[in-house]
């Protein structure tokens, strides 16, 4: 009876979800190849299956930075979350991801900074573009398949605008700018219901407050390019549409950015691209990452002057810590940044690092405590694999996945550190299997254990091992003295303290010394 009721409830939930999806604006289910993944669809506002037009190949465009200033950690979390999803798709589900990122190197803000600094706009934008690449590398974010600068695609952008004008989706204003006519596109508002009052600026010659610039007429001494309707430069939205279309054509599998880009940027991209390609749907899946905010739900932004640069962040925390902060929450959720929240991410990262080190030492015979219940440990590992797989396949739910791994580590830790008098069960293969799984899955999510090469890492470990063997010999001799040699013991303790400041934790347990990275 209970089973029947449960099935009825599940069916009702499924029907209700289907009904909600049908009530939303139309989303066209792609024809192609089914994957094991489901993703949240902002058009239907429910999860839908990820279907690829080309088998095992995912075409993905991501909005990149506007390079007029240094990137901050608010930007970083969006790119880290996108990188996590990319790694899940490629490293876990074995999908070939072709990721293209647009770089906005001509914009109102760039021109303003160029004038204020007295630097040429290209010199200014190249400086911050190079800095952005370096920051992404420091945060262990993989490079996209292509970086595409807007200024390298001016001919394609002009052609795009020209075609929209020819098809009567755009109009030229008195000053030589070109606007998109939203009234001509009856599907406008897929991602969010348009609210004219929300539009901050209006061109005096716009037909509607919702119409947006495809091309901006140049002012005196501004960077500009010649086109059939006069000199000017691209509007913001047209840049991404033209670049993604040049690379991927009339269909993009996935398009991502911060949640603030859903409207009007992504809405406008979709509208003009559908009109240009004469299709009903240009992007099949939109992904939007939640914002990083300060305490009190205050958005981190350059305009509010409350940002923390990536450089400043890395003076106090590591790339792994920021990535763990992102992994501990769902990519669609916002994150409130504070020292308390960061300390939690630091502790979880340490928990994993120490567990893997303890497992390595246990397997190597350097860890004398522990009572390993091999059957329980392997059963928990099996359950964790299933939970992690289900979580990652369900709209990339890294929060559930990480908490499943934390549970596995907790059970493993309890066994490793359980003291007992009788000879304990070794269970070396079970410990090795768990350590290997935890290390591999964290690696697939972008958590790096070491920035050194394998050879360098091995050499450093050998040096530390040899030094600690020497320290252990001195400490053992000092303990055997009658009375104990307190001077030597104190020096051994000082060595442990000094190495701790270098990031090496020494553990002296029952006559055996082991170490791990802090």
Q: Give the CATH number for residue 434.
A: 1.10.730
**Looking at residues 152-170, what average pLDDT do you find?**
98
237 and 198 both lie in a single domain: yes
Q: Cβ(212)–Cβ(264) under 8 Å?
A: yes
276 and 394 both lie in a single domain: no
320 and 222 both lie in a single domain: yes
**Looking at residues 170-188, what average pLDDT do you find?**
95
**Looking at residues 395-400, what average pLDDT do you find?**
98
Residue 472: exposure state from Cβ atoms within 10 A (0-12, 13-18, ≥19): middle
Residue 141: C-alpha distances to residues 303, 311, 345 (Å): 26, 15, 18
At 450 the pLDDT is 55
205 and 314 both lie in a single domain: yes
Rounded to the nearest 10°, the torsion over CA 105, 107, 113, 117 is 60
| Pair type for strands 298-299 and 292-294 | antiparallel
Task: Estimate the crossing angle of helix 398-416 against helix 374-393, to 10 degrees.
Answer: 170
| DSSP state letter for 481 | S
Mean pLDDT of the chain: 89
| Rounded Cα–Cα distance for residues 137 and 436 (Å) | 26
350 and 458 both lie in a single domain: no
For residue 52, the cross-strand partners are 33
Q: Which residues of 205-218 are buried (b: 16+ CB within 10 A; e: fewer)?
A: ebebbbbbbbbbbb
Tokens found for residue 22: 């049908």
65 and 167 both lie in a single domain: yes
pLDDT at 10 over 80: no
| Rounded Cα–Cα distance for residues 515 and 466 (Å) | 12
| DSSP state letter for 96 | E
Query: Which of 269-278, 294-303, 448-457 is least confident?
Result: 448-457
In the structure, what pLDDT confidence band is assigned to residue 472 with cuts at 50, 70 and 90? confident
| Rounded Cα–Cα distance for residues 507 and 501 (Å) | 15
At 5 the pLDDT is 52
**Looking at residues 219-225, what average pLDDT do you find?**
90
**Looking at residues 359-366, what average pLDDT do you find?**
89
pLDDT at 361 over 70: yes
**Long-range CB contacts for residues 88-94, cutoff 8 Å, separation at least 24:** 88/392, 88/396, 88/398, 88/444, 88/445, 89/37, 89/58, 91/444, 92/392, 92/444, 93/35, 93/36, 93/37, 93/392, 93/393, 94/56
Which of 440, 434, 438, 437 shows the shortest CA–CA distance to 374? Answer: 434
Query: Which secondary structure element, helix H or strand E, spans residue 348, and what is its range?
Result: helix 339-363
pLDDT at 452 over 60: no
127 and 187 both lie in a single domain: yes
**Looking at residues 229-242, what average pLDDT do you find?**
96
| DSSP state letter for 237 | H
508 and 392 both lie in a single domain: no
| DSSP state letter for 198 | G
| Rounded Cα–Cα distance for residues 298 and 292 (Å) | 9
Query: Which of 14-23, 43-52, 290-299, 374-383 is least confident?
Result: 14-23
At 401 the pLDDT is 98
Which of 269, 296, 373, 290 shows the shortest CA–CA distance to 335? Answer: 290
Q: How far is CA 128 from the centre of its chain?
A: 21
Residue of 510 and 110 predicted with greater confidence: 110
- Give the residue numbers spanning the domain of 15: 2-337
When divided into structural domains, the chain yields a total of 3
At 196 the pLDDT is 63
83 and 207 both lie in a single domain: yes
pLDDT at 172 over 50: yes
Q: Cβ(393)–Cβ(37) under 8 Å?
A: yes
265 and 397 both lie in a single domain: no
For residue 289, the cross-strand partners are 258
210 and 263 both lie in a single domain: yes
pLDDT at 83 over 60: yes
262 and 142 both lie in a single domain: yes
The CATH code of the domain that includes 132 is 3.40.50.620
């Amino acid at each position: 009876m209970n089973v029947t009721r449960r099935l009825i409830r599940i069916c009702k939930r499924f029907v209700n979800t289907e009904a909600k999806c049908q009530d939303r604006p139309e989303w066209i289910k792609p024809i192609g190849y089914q994957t094991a993944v489901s993703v949240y669809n902002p058009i239907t506002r429910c999860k839908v299956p990820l279907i690829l037009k080309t088998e095992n190949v995912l075409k993905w465009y991501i909005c990149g930075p506007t390079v007029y200033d240094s990137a901050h950690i608010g930007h970083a979390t969006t790119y880290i979350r996108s990188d996590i999803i990319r790694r899940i798709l490629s490293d876990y589900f074995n999908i070939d991801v072709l990721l293209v990122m647009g770089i906005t190197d001509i914009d109102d803000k760039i021109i303003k900074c160029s004038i204020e600094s007295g630097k040429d706009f290209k010199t200014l934008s190249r400086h911050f573009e190079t800095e952005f690449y370096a920051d992404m590398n420091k945060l262990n974010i993989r490079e996209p398949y292509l970086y595409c600068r807007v200024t390298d695609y001016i001919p394609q952008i002009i052609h795009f605008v020209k075609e929209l004008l020819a098809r009567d989706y755009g109009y030229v204003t008195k000053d030589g700018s070109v606007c998109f006519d939203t009234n001509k596109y009856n599907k406008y508002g897929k991602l969010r219901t348009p609210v004219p009052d929300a539009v901050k600026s209006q061109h005096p010659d716009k037909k509607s407050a919702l119409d947006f610039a495809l091309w901006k007429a140049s002012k005196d001494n501004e960077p500009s390019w010649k086109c059939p309707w006069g000199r000017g430069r691209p509007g913001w939205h047209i840049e991404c549409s033209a670049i993604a279309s040049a690379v991927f054509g009339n269909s993009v599998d996935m398009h991502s950015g911060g949640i603030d880009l859903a409207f009007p940027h992504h809405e406008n991209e979709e509208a003009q691209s559908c009109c240009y390609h004469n299709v009903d749907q240009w992007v099949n899946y939109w992904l939007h990452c939640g914002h990083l905010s300060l305490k009190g739900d205050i958005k981190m932004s350059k305009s509010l002057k409350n940002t923390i640069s990536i450089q400043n962040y890395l003076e106090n925390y590591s790339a792994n810590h920021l990535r763990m902060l992102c992994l501990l929450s769902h990519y669609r959720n916002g994150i409130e940044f504070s020292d308390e929240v960061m300390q939690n991410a630091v502790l979880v990262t340490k928990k994993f690092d120490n567990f893997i080190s303890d497992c390595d030492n246990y397997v190597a015979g350097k860890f004398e405590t522990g009572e390993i219940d091999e059957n329980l440990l392997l059963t928990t590992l099996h359950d964790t694999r299933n939970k992690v797989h289900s979580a990652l396949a369900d709209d990339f739910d890294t929060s559930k996945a990480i908490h499943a791994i934390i549970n596995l580590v907790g059970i493993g830790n309890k066994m490793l550190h359980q003291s007992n008098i009788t000879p304990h069960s070794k269970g070396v293969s079970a410990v090795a299997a768990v350590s290997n799984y935890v290390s591999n899955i964290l690696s697939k999510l972008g958590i790096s254990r070491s920035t050194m090469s394998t050879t360098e890492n091995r050499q450093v470990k050998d040096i530390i091992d040899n030094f600690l063997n020497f320290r252990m010999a001195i400490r053992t001799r000092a303990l055997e003295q009658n009375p104990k040699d307190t001077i030597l013991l104190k020096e051994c303790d000082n060595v442990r303290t000094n190495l701790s400041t270098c990031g090496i934790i020494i553990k002296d347990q029952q006559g055996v010394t082991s170490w791990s990275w802090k």
